Structure 1
Amino acid sequence: MDAIYEHPGELAATDPIRLLAIRDTPLSVDEVFAAAGDDAAGGTALFVGTVRDHDGGTDVTGLGYSAHPSAEAEMRRIAEKVAADFPVRALAAVHRVGELSVGDLAVVVAVSCPHRAEAFAACRRLIDDLKREVPIWKHQTFADGTDEWVGA
């Protein structure tokens, strides 16, 4: 597929992937935002995924994420594809594993591009593809004592 550029004369950075990680410690929006910074970027789009207190009308009390050993390699494959399809100046993505509580950050991604439309589109592609393709599984526990695995 050809790269998607709103302004074809603006090329992507040589090595735009600045930060990719799966961590069992709390995530930092500031760290991801800083990693996606670039002086040639006119727009940076940031997505922060948090643990919400409900799912499908049922109260969530907590959840745990676990990842397959190949998860970081899959993150890199997806990041490389996004960087190839958009004029990405810098890209960063971090996902949390382990036990999380309501309100905790589960995933933070950021993409900077020369223009905002490209940054929004690239960031959306990055988070959507990460959620769909990276082998990270969510185990939710509910207030009524039930639980479920998502993505397994």
Structure 2
Amino acid sequence: MSFISSDNKDSQLIAMVATGTFAICIAYFIWGVFAKNPIKQSTVANNTKSAKDIQKKKSVVPLTLESQIENVELRYENEFKPRIQKLLKSFNKNIEKDIYERNYCNEMLLKLLIELDGIDLVDLEPERKKILKSKRKDVIKLIQTELKLLDSLE
């Protein structure tokens, strides 16, 4: 037999649940105020970076068609031509690093070709279109020559 009545048990249960809920709320509040939350700090840092990125993007001037073609050519000349020349001199098909380097250069040259392909020359006056087409064609031939050399390394 229990000395506590049913109504009294319900009241005690409600009081315990209310007290527990209150304690959890207070603990959460105190933890949120006093604990250093790295997620919130990184979010603030990311928001600051994204605001800076947005500001930079607004100030970036789009490249002209001439500079787009020149940019691809310069990237080829400065980044990939020296790597490919070095690879051509010392390539060994039994060395995994050499194979990786060959495949990497191949992929990056193909990426440059795709960039050149994406330069739209349709709506230009005929003289400018002719000049840009010729320049783009020269850079494409240059890159294709290197691709053929890379393909010969097998």
Pairwise TM-score range, normalised by the shorter structure:
under 0.3
| TM-score normalised according to structure 1 size | 0.24
Higher relative contact order (CA 8 A, sep 6+): 1
Higher helix share: 2
Which structure: larger Rg? 2
| TM-score normalised according to structure 2 size | 0.23
